């Protein structure tokens, strides 16, 4: 648990934000905030799994300075689940050793903050908790999540936190009979990386080509230098040979005249 204190004009007091695990006593307010924040309706089983920690990890934000006995009431939350990397929808977006079947990912299920407490950095702090948790799992390679295409504040948040938008999923959400696109964001941890993108592949190829051309150019220069040396050496030998011939001819002529 950690604490932060900021000012929001929507709140009459100075909040003192703390973070803790979600617990069974949070059930009613957790359901209420989900209903207020999301256009999607969640089954009661989901909330039971969250508050009881059944295959779901979660963090809650509370305001310890909140009056009227509400100092431990949820004002924000994040829920997540561990999934196997090989079974996930982003398996093709990971560069990892597929022979290691125990490698995992953390998938963010829901993230929300009540209206009066927004723009205080609570959502950022909650996502950092997830990243810290994922990083503590040695076999975990990434945190990933979906964002509906019109949720610009959330998109801005994840980009600011260095998540990578890796895919757009058309018609991913069905809300009130209408389809909406989703963006898929990934944050790599523990050495997890994306496969080479086409741009990265081109960069590698160009780099190899440049390296190869430099090597060829160096060999050509070496050959040219050898040829120059050889020609100089040949000319020198030719000059010596001609001089010798002239000397011999002169000597012979002298003998004849004598």
Question: What confidence score (pLDDT) does residue 223 get?
Answer: 67
Range of the domain at 88: 17-195
What CATH number did the domain enclosing 49 receive? Answer: 3.40.630.30
Q: Over the stretch 45-63, which tens digit does the pLDDT of each residue have? A: 999 999 999 999 999 999 9
Residue 231 included in any domain: no
Residue 207 included in any domain: no
Q: Over the stretch 192-221, which tens digit does the pLDDT of each residue have? A: 887 645 544 455 445 546 666 666 567 667
Write out the H or E segment, with its range, that includes residue 200: helix 198-257
Question: What confidence score (pLDDT) does residue 101 get?
Answer: 79
**Single pTM value for the model:** 0.72
CB 120 within 8 A of CB 15: yes
User: Interior CA angle at 15 toward 14 and 19, to 5°?
Assistant: 160
Residue 6 included in any domain: no
Residue 5 included in any domain: no
Residue 232 included in any domain: no
Residue 59 included in any domain: yes
DSSP for 78-112, written as a single string: EEEEEEEGGGSTTGGG-B--TT-TT-EEEEEEEEE
Residue 238 included in any domain: no
> Which tokens hold the place of 32?
């209420």
Q: Where are the alpha helices (DSSP H) in 104-197?
A: 122-135, 152-160
Q: What is the spatial distance between Cα 226 and Cα 148, in angstroms, rounded to a whole number?
A: 67
User: What is the number of domains present in the chain?
Assistant: 1
Residue 218 included in any domain: no
């Amino acid at each position: 648990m950690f604490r932060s204190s900021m000012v929001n004009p929507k709140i009459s007091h100075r909040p003192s934000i703390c973070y803790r695990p979600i617990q069974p006593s949070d059930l009613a307010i957790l359901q209420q905030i989900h209903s207020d924040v999301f256009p999607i309706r969640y089954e009661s089983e989901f909330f039971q799994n969250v508050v009881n920690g059944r295959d779901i990890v979660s963090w809650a934000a509370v305001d310890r300075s909140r009056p009227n006995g509400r100092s431990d009431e949820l004002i924000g939350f994040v829920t997540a689940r561990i999934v196997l990397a090989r079974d996930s929808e982003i398996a093709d977006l990971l560069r990892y050793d597929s022979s290691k079947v125990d490698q995992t990912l953390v998938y963010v299920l829901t993230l929300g903050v009540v209206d009066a407490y927004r723009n205080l950095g609570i959502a950022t702090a909650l996502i950092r908790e997830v990243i810290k948790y994922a990083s503590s799992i040695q076999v975990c390679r990434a945190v990933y999540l979906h964002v509906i295409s019109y949720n610009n504040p959330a998109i801005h948040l994840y980009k600011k936190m260095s998540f990578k938008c890796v895919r757009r999923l058309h018609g991913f959400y069905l809300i009130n009979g209408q389809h909406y696109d989703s963006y898929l964001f990934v944050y790599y941890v523990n050495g997890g990386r994306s496969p080479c993108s086409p741009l990265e592949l081109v960069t590698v190829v160009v780099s190899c080509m440049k390296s190869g051309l430099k090597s060829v150019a160096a060999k050509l220069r070496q050959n040219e230098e050898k040829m120059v040396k050889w020609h100089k050496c040949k000319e020198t030998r030719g000059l010596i040979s001609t001089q010798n011939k002239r000397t011999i001819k002169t000597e012979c002529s002298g003998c004849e005249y004598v």
